[in-house]
């Protein structure tokens, strides 16, 4: 199978880590979401990454769906708890971390894609507020490891990638006020070698 992504994408990083933990090999192919000629727009009409291309040509997106698919290929219960409270806790943590990543990405895009005179401070502050509230909630209760066969579940993977993206694009400014999350991320990196292996060049 082929994964369309780009090295800085935290959502693509989620899938790479999930595939590693489930023992599934993926061929990685660069996708340029800003290039109208890139085939990613045909593979996912939204033009977003990551996209997983199965051998039969079927495209699966986006990252939560891909991770669930990889979990099913691994027999279930690999990175996603099979049922019950643990499953919904992992999925909720993933949703919060994904929202954090979305808000962080939108702040980056506001600077990267708009001329200085066209940027909206109100818009950027709104996105920054989402990041701050998510970090506050996660600092108060970092996710516990769920009952899965791998060393991390989808919620943990998503949070690690969200914090990694803040390190990449915001110079780790979150760290000073969130010591519990710093400790949590250090522990995650220690038990999940794929986290370091998928780090994007700065």
Backbone torsion region of residue 145, taken as left when φ is above 0, otherwise alpha when ψ lies between -120 and 50, otherwise beta: beta
Q: CB-based burial of residue 5 (10 Å sphere; 0-12 exposed, 13-18 middle, 19+ buried)?
A: buried
Question: Does residue 52 sit in helix, strand or coil?
Answer: strand
Helix (H, G, I), strand (E, B) or coil at 197: helix
Joined tokens for residue 42: 């045909």
Phi, psi at 120, each rounded to 5°: -110, 115
Task: Determine the Cα–Cα distance for residues 129 and 152; give it in Å rounded to an integer.
Answer: 28
Under a CB-based contact definition with an 8 Å cutoff, are residues 172 and 106 in contact? no
Per residue in 124-151, pLDDT tens? 999 999 999 999 999 999 999 889 999 9
Label the pairing between strands 59-60 and 51-53. antiparallel
Angle subtended by helix axes 154-170 and 84-113, to nearest 10: 20
Cα–Cα distance measured from residue 118 to residue 94, given in angstroms and rounded to the nearest whole number? 32
Q: Which residues pair with 30 in a beta bridge?
A: 5
> Token digits for 129?
């507020």
How sure is the predictor about 113, in pLDDT bands with cuts at 50, 70 and 90?
confident
Q: For 68-93, how does the pLDDT look when each residue is reduced to its tens digit (9 = 90+)?
A: 999 999 999 999 999 999 999 999 99
How many CB atoms neighbour CB 144 within 10 A?
13
Q: What pLDDT, on the 0 to 100 scale, is given for residue 96?
A: 98
pLDDT exceeds 90 at position 193: yes
pLDDT band at 116 (very low <50, low <70, confident <90, very high): confident
């Amino acid at each position: 199978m082929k994964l369309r992504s780009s090295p800085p994408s935290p959502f693509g990083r989620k899938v790479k880590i999930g595939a590693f933990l489930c023992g599934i090999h993926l061929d990685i192919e660069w996708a340029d979401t800003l290039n109208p000629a890139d085939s990613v727009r045909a593979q996912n009409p939204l033009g977003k990454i990551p996209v997983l291309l199965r051998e039969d040509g079927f495209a699966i997106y986006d990252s939560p769906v891909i991770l669930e698919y990889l979990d099913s290929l691994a027999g279930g219960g690999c990175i996603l708890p099979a049922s019950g409270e643990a499953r919904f806790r992992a999925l909720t943590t993933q949703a919060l971390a994904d929202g954090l990543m979305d808000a962080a990405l939108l702040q980056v895009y506001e600077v990267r894609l708009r001329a200085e005179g066209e940027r909206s401070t109100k818009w950027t502050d709104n996105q920054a507020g989402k990041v701050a509230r998510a970090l506050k909630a996660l600092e108060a209760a970092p996710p516990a490891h769920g009952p899965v066969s791998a060393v991390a579940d989808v919620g943990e993977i998503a949070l690690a990638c969200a914090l990694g993206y803040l390190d990449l694009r915001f110079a780790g400014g979150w760290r000073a006020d969130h010591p519990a999350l710093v400790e949590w991320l250090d522990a995650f990196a220690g038990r999940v070698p794929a986290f370091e292996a998928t780090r994007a060049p700065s």
